[in-house]
Amino acid sequence: MKIVLDYLEKNKARYTRELCDYVRFPSVSAQPKHKKDLAACCQWLLKHCKEIGLEARLCPTEGNPILVAKTPRKKGSKKQHFVVYGHYDVQPPEPLELWTTPPFEPRIKGRSLFARGASDNKGQNLAHLKAVEAYIKTGTELPVDLTFVIEGEEEVGSKSLAGFLNANRDELLCEAVVISDTGMPALNLPALTYALRGILSMEIRLEGPNRDLHSGIYGGSVDNPAMALCQLMGKLRDKDGRVAIPGFYKGVAELSAMERKEFKRIPMNEKEYCEFMGVPKLFGEKGYTSLEQRTARPTIEINGLTSGYQGEGSKTIVPAWASAKVTFRLVPNQDPAHIRVCLLKYLEKICPPTVRMHVKVGHGGQPYIVSPTSGMAKAALKTLKAAFGHDPLLMREGGSIPIVTQFKKVLLADSLLLGLALPDDNAHSPNEKFSLDCFEKGMKMSALLWQELAKV
Amino acid sequence: MKIVLDYLEKNKARYTRELCDYVRFPSVSAQPKHKKDLAACCQWLLKHCKEIGLEARLCPTEGNPILVAKTPRKKGSKKQHFVVYGHYDVQPPEPLELWTTPPFEPRIKGRSLFARGASDNKGQNLAHLKAVEAYIKTGTELPVDLTFVIEGEEEVGSKSLAGFLNANRDELLCEAVVISDTGMPALNLPALTYALRGILSMEIRLEGPNRDLHSGIYGGSVDNPAMALCQLMGKLRDKDGRVAIPGFYKGVAELSAMERKEFKRIPMNEKEYCEFMGVPKLFGEKGYTSLEQRTARPTIEINGLTSGYQGEGSKTIVPAWASAKVTFRLVPNQDPAHIRVCLLKYLEKICPPTVRMHVKVGHGGQPYIVSPTSGMAKAALKTLKAAFGHDPLLMREGGSIPIVTQFKKVLLADSLLLGLALPDDNAHSPNEKFSLDCFEKGMKMSALLWQELAKV
């Protein structure tokens, strides 16, 4: 392995230049005007993969092409096979006036490379490609077979990925999917993310009168759908911050002492966290820390409220209807289908007979967890320690990563989430940057990871 | 009086034609394109008043002119003086496609005259003018002095009226203001409206994070302003339909046995009322009938709710803020200033420390009541019985009529509300109509009213 790691060390300046080339493409998937830039970006990636020595191709989709690049392998290889996932599309750079330098003109300051997409996700997926380059160019045999899948629609919902996975299922079946698209709390706290929250979305609409009524003439003799909605919604969360739907907590895996101890290692300053969000005081489920509340505990959020008059001044009406958009974040091992049943039953029970209720339940996303003590997890942790020189963390994330669910569903494969983004990377925000330390340590991690995984 | 009543009877066909001329003007005050039509309409009115024999003039305002027309009187007249109020502007006719015949082409069908403004308010104010014509043209001495004030901005908030009343205060000081701009339950149920509800409007805004937050990353560790708003609003009304603000009911005049008996005379079919509004079930303060709830009991209405994402589908955010527009309808003798204090105190008490609350309280409108047993009320009731041939009702209305408050404030005068509109007149809606029976009986009522009021 020394030859591989030496190669990485010797070529790091060139790698940084190549990352600069990669982030110069304004590959903004949300904006149709950048369609050509996305095409140019994946052509660059294709060429780059071929130069590295990978067997690469672009798979056209209804949206942007997906790059598939395979390490050279013998027919009938008995090596373990891993998929490495990444994406070459980026978030829109707007608002442009908040950028210190233009978003697609990379700038290095200290140990940071500033550019849209530097951290999310070009820097992270390039780190994996560069590690493989080191194997190939030094003639070192890779102990596993790898297939890179780098898509161009992650920032707009990965609409083409499911179809692609299904169409190429046989080629992509693997031990696990390695994804570097999450975060680590600090440079000295490398992390393996082993759990994600699931989601269940719904819209509750209460209908009262068949038109907005004059509140002077009718008000008092007919229920007010907006008030009925407030009272209904108010009953879904108790004063201790718990979701008040009977049956909701069924299956919730309580945090183990080991997990809670791990979480305590993550630096957390409540005052700073309040200031960062701009809230006067924190609020969350009693008995849990903020971190636990937002990563390992389920919650209900009202995402939007709509009713009646919303313009300037006042309009004296009893509105005809009121609606709330709601999402539940679910944790292992809650079942969205079960929650759906509990929810509908409870809403039916508490909805007053004076309004008509319409509930639209969206698709649920399963919460995700892989054992933090499995062989693969242990291999990943060992690698992180070796690459970063610090004891790695076991982390949960509060969001959902739909692609992880896709991989599980189509390929039946777990994902190893080895994020290289730091909390101040400004992903999705102006002045996005990527730490060159993370880039270099990330390449080392990737190179070492295949050795460790091959032993599992 | 016979000669006056005979004159009215003989000329009723002509009067109907004149009302047709009056409603042909599309005097829509809300629509700038009709500015000229409003001018033409009040010119017609001015000419008409002069032909009747009134001393008439147009008072220019920043908006549309106000017609002032006085019955001939001797200098230093000792007769009682009454102001008769009406308005020549009308509601917009839209949606036009729902009209059976064009809104400004009057059509008589049976005993109804269909046209925008026929009932609200041209037919009603013309009835008063025609009664006075009968006095003047038959050489019958009016037992009182009258001043007609017919404005052109009632449908857009009577913005110029207060200034006009103040500027012409001495000329307008009077015993009472007679207004026919309310309703009566049926042709055989003429009514004197003796009370109106007041109003207090406010907007409550709860601010949480300084921006919309990703609900996956932060949800659970920070309060959700939309949920906090729902829980806050939900506490303002109890399950019995009462406003749950301590001190809110202070001063509320309980309905007398006489009043409740009067209300029972008004035909009310709960099933039909539900169907008319399109609600599955009625709701209101326990212990009161629907009619009492919407006319004589105070209430809280949420007029609008706004928070977060309101578009198609879902957006996984903890919204930065949430707001509710609210109006309270107040009854005699609640004091808006007192309610304001109670409200703010209660909101401060129940608002959680996890959000920042901003309350904007709008101006309050006093509830209005005149004694239903005063001399003037008795005179009005006697007149209604004589004109309509049925025992009149004593009625309350649930809305507020801001001009009534203006008259009270500037002229210190009570209003006699003798509405001639029937419930099916479609005021403010397509196919507005005015009953020719109400028109004719209304003229008779007006002619007789001055006789009775002169005796008080």
B222-250 per-position pLDDT tens digit: 999 999 999 999 999 999 999 999 999 99
Q: Please check whether residue A140 touches B, CB under 8 A.
A: no
Would you list the DSSP string of B349-407? HHS-TTSEEEEEEEEEE--EE--TTSHHHHHHHHHHHHHHSSPPEEEEESS--HHHHHI
The alpha carbon of residue B171 is apart from the nearest alpha carbon of chain A, in Å, by: 33
Q: Name the closest residue on chain B to residue A329, using Cα atoms.
A: B216
In which region does residue A125 sit, left (phi positive, over 0), alpha (psi from -120 to 50) or beta (all else)? alpha
A314 pLDDT above the threshold of 90: no
Q: Please check whether residue A358 touches B, CB under 8 A.
A: no
The alpha carbon of residue B143 is apart from the nearest alpha carbon of chain A, in Å, by: 36
A173 shares its domain with A314: no
Q: Please check whether residue A437 touches B, CB under 8 A.
A: no
Q: pLDDT category, A235, cuts 50, 70, 90?
A: very high
Nearest to B117 by CA among B144, B69, B155: B155
Q: Which helix (H) or strand (E) holds B229?
A: helix B225-234
Interior/surface letters A344-360, b for 16+ CB within 10 angstroms, e for the rest: eebbeeebbebbbbebe
A332-355 per-position pLDDT tens digit: 999 999 999 999 999 999 999 999
pLDDT in the model for residue A436: 98
In a domain, B269, yes or no: no
A207 shares its domain with A62: no
Nearest to B113 by CA among B22, B239, B246, B220: B22
Distance in angstroms (rounded) separating the CA atoms of residues B280 and B290? 15
Q: Name the closest residue on chain A to residue B197, using Cα atoms.
A: A216
pLDDT in the model for residue B402: 83
Q: Which of B365, B391, B407 is the last residue of a domain?
A: B365
B237 shares its domain with B348: yes
What is the number of residues in chain B? Answer: 456
pLDDT in the model for residue A94: 86
Nearest 10 degrees: Cα torsion A46, A47, A52, A57: 30
In a domain, A267, yes or no: no
A157 shares its domain with A29: yes
Instruction: Say which amino acid occupies B186.
Output: A
| Contact (Cβ atoms closer than 8 angstroms) between residue B444 and residue B387 | yes
Q: Which helix (H) or strand (E) holds A439?
A: helix A436-455
Q: Please check whether residue B358 touches A, CB under 8 A.
A: no
Residue written as tokens 């957006």? Answer: B315
Angle of the B2-10 helix axis to the B123-137 helix axis, nearest 10: 120
A30 pLDDT above the threshold of 80: yes
Q: Which helix (H) or strand (E) holds B16?
A: helix B12-23
Q: Which of B349, B365, B381 is the last residue of a domain?
A: B365
Distance in angstroms (rounded) separating the CA atoms of residues B189 and B294? 19
Residue written as tokens 């209300």? Answer: B263
CATH classification at residue A191: 3.40.630.10
A348 shares its domain with A206: yes
pLDDT in the model for residue A21: 98
Q: Please check whether residue A367 touches B, CB under 8 A.
A: no
Distance in angstroms (rounded) separating the CA atoms of residues B178 and B149? 10
A8 shares its domain with A155: yes
Question: Could you give the ipTM of this predicted complex?
Answer: 0.87
Q: Which of B365, B399, B421 is the last residue of a domain?
A: B365
A228 shares its domain with A176: no
- Counted domains in chain B: 2
Q: Which chain B residues are closer than 8 Å to A401 by Cβ?
A: none
Distance in angstroms (rounded) separating the CA atoms of residues B274 and B290? 11
Q: Which helix (H) or strand (E) holds A358?
A: strand A356-365
Residue written as tokens 């050509």? Answer: A36
Angle of the A123-137 helix axis to the A12-23 helix axis, nearest 10: 140
- Side-chain-facing half-sphere of A449: CA atoms under 13 Å: 31
pLDDT in the model for residue A230: 98
Q: Do A279 and B209 touch (CB under 8 A)?
A: yes
CATH classification at residue B222: 3.30.70.360
Helix (H, G, I), strand (E, B) or coil at B217: coil
B225 shares its domain with B360: yes
Residue from the list A201, A283, A319 with its beta carbon closest to the beta carbon of B314:
A201
pLDDT in the model for residue A362: 82
Nearest to A11 by CA among A133, A148, A140, A139: A133
pLDDT in the model for residue A50: 98
In a domain, A220, yes or no: yes
Q: Do A221 and B284 touch (CB under 8 A)?
A: yes
Q: Which domain holds residue B405?
A: 2-196+367-455
Q: Which chain A residues are closer than 8 Å to B182 by Cβ?
A: none
pLDDT in the model for residue A402: 83
pLDDT digit string (tens) for chain B, length 456 residues: 999 999 999 999 999 999 999 999 999 999 999 999 999 999 999 999 999 999 999 999 999 999 999 999 988 899 999 999 999 999 999 889 989 999 999 999 999 999 999 999 999 999 999 999 999 999 999 999 999 999 999 988 899 999 999 999 999 999 999 999 999 999 999 999 999 999 999 999 999 999 999 899 899 999 999 999 999 999 999 999 999 999 999 999 999 999 999 999 988 899 999 999 999 999 999 999 999 999 999 999 999 999 999 988 888 899 999 999 999 999 999 999 999 999 999 999 999 999 999 999 886 788 999 998 999 999 999 999 999 999 999 999 998 888 998 999 999 999 999 999 998 999 888 899 999 999 999 999 999 999 999 999
Helix (H, G, I), strand (E, B) or coil at B181: coil
Handedness of CA B93, B97, B100, B104 (dihedral sign): positive
| DSSP code of residue A105 | S
Q: Please check whether residue B48 touches A, CB under 8 A.
A: no
Q: Do B305 and A226 touch (CB under 8 A)?
A: yes
Q: Please check whether residue A84 touches B, CB under 8 A.
A: no
| Contact (Cβ atoms closer than 8 angstroms) between residue A80 and residue A413 | no
A375 shares its domain with A422: yes
Helix (H, G, I), strand (E, B) or coil at A76: coil
B281-339 per-position pLDDT tens digit: 999 999 999 999 999 999 999 999 999 999 888 888 999 999 999 999 999 999 999 99
A394 shares its domain with A314: no
A103 shares its domain with A236: no
Q: Which structure tokens are listed for A379? A: 């291999």
Residue from the list B237, B291, B307 with its beta carbon closest to the beta carbon of A304:
B307
Q: pLDDT category, A315, cuts 50, 70, 90?
A: confident
In a domain, B61, yes or no: yes
The alpha carbon of residue A309 is apart from the nearest alpha carbon of chain B, in Å, by: 5
pLDDT in the model for residue A267: 86
Query: How many CB atoms lie under 10 A from the CB of residue B12?
Result: 15
pLDDT in the model for residue A401: 85
B174 shares its domain with B309: no
Q: Do B316 and A303 touch (CB under 8 A)?
A: yes
Distance in angstroms (rounded) separating the CA atoms of residues B27 and B23? 8
Distance in angstroms (rounded) separating the CA atoms of residues A278 and A58? 45
Helix (H, G, I), strand (E, B) or coil at B313: coil
A125-178 per-position pLDDT tens digit: 999 999 999 999 999 999 999 999 999 999 888 999 999 999 999 999 999 999
In a domain, B281, yes or no: no
Q: Which helix (H) or strand (E) holds A200?
A: strand A198-207
| Contact (Cβ atoms closer than 8 angstroms) between residue A446 and residue A380 | no
β-pairing, A176-179 vs A414-417, is parallel
Q: Which structure tokens are listed for B309? A: 């994402």
Nearest 10 degrees: Cα torsion B182, B183, B189, B191: -20
Distance in angstroms (rounded) separating the CA atoms of residues A211 and A224? 12
In a domain, B283, yes or no: no
Beta bridge partners of A113: A108, A434
β-pairing, A356-365 vs B176-179, is unpaired
Q: Do A216 and B324 touch (CB under 8 A)?
A: no
Q: Please check whether residue B234 touches A, CB under 8 A.
A: yes
In a domain, B133, yes or no: yes
pLDDT in the model for residue B428: 86
Average pLDDT, chain A: 95
Beta bridge partners of A198: A330
| DSSP code of residue A58 | E
| Contact (Cβ atoms closer than 8 angstroms) between residue B400 and residue B199 | yes
Helix (H, G, I), strand (E, B) or coil at A57: strand
In a domain, B285, yes or no: no
Q: Name the closest residue on chain A to residue B222, using Cα atoms.
A: A283
Nearest to B355 by CA among B227, B202, B215: B227
What is the average pLDDT across A268-277? Answer: 92
